[in-house]
Amino acid sequence: MMKTLITDNEIKYEGWQLSPHWIYKNFKLQGDATVAFIGECEVKLTEMVDIEDVINNEPIYSKSMLSFISEQFNVGLVEGVFRQRLLICIIKETLEKRGFKVVRDGDDLFVNNKKLTVSIATKSLTSILIHTGINIDSTGTPVPACGLTNDLGITDIKTFAEEILKRYAEELDDIVLASTKVRGV
């Protein structure tokens, strides 16, 4: 069962938080869990998990970002990427319900040809780890980007995050439950 939490503590995401048991150590949520928080995002190349971004010399910066970190156990990397893409699709659907036209390209979301999200899935020795960030304020980003507040006018960030967390946890739990109701053939 997926545990979720939105913390009121502002956290600057620097990449090192994408590590095994970071959620457990900091929020006492043991097992599969996803935590949302708001803060500046600055991932230098030395902390990058995405090797393609390192090769292309593309550090990540956002003045203000809604970040989701998820740790899930007993899952392989390919399934972890599927779960990352599921989170991205839920974010896309949540924005579309609010009337926005959103384009998904892999694990990236765009509005008006401007990048709204960053996302990565990786594997630790014990789990898969996902970070997905949604720009709140796109000022100063290194690529053409848009933000929830300054470009889309979404100011209820906590409510937005709660909806995403709830839908993501319900979807993952429902997938596991669905796998228990069929007979083998």
Amino acid present at 162? E
Handedness of CA 53, 134, 72, 23 (dihedral sign): positive
Q: Is beta strand 3-6 parallel, antiparallel or unpaired with respect to 33-43?
A: parallel
In a domain, 65, yes or no: yes
In a domain, 181, yes or no: no
In a domain, 182, yes or no: no
In tens, the pLDDT along 78-89 reads 999 999 999 999
In a domain, 184, yes or no: no
Give the HSE-up count for residue 79: Cα atoms under 13 Å, Cβ half-sphere: 11
For residue 168, the SS3 value is: helix
In tens, the pLDDT along 100-139 reads 999 999 999 999 999 999 999 999 999 999 999 999 999 9
Q: What is the mean pLDDT of residues 144-165?
A: 97
Our separate counts of H helices and E strands in the chain read 4, 8
If one counts the domains in the chain, the total is 1
Amino acid present at 37? F
Domain range for residue 61? 3-176
**What is the pLDDT confidence band of residue 74, given thresholds at 50, 70 and 90?**
very high
Q: Quick check: 45 pLDDT over 90?
A: no
In tens, the pLDDT along 49-64 reads 988 888 888 889 999 9
Alpha carbons 179 and 62: distance in angstroms, whole number: 39
Q: Quick check: 47 pLDDT over 90?
A: no
Q: Which residue has the tokens 């509005």?
A: 111
In tens, the pLDDT along 2-20 reads 999 999 999 999 999 999 9
| Segment holding 143, helix H or strand E | none
Alpha carbons 65 and 72: distance in angstroms, whole number: 22
Angle between helices 77-97 and 157-178 (to 10 degrees): 130
pLDDT of residue 166: 98
Q: How far is CA 57 from CA 34, 90, 104, 135, in A?
A: 29, 29, 23, 20
**CATH code: domain of residue 43:** 3.30.930.10
Phi, psi at 5, each rounded to 5°: -155, 140
In a domain, 23, yes or no: yes
In a domain, 185, yes or no: no
Q: Which DSSP state fits 107?
A: T
Phi, psi at 89, each rounded to 5°: -65, -35
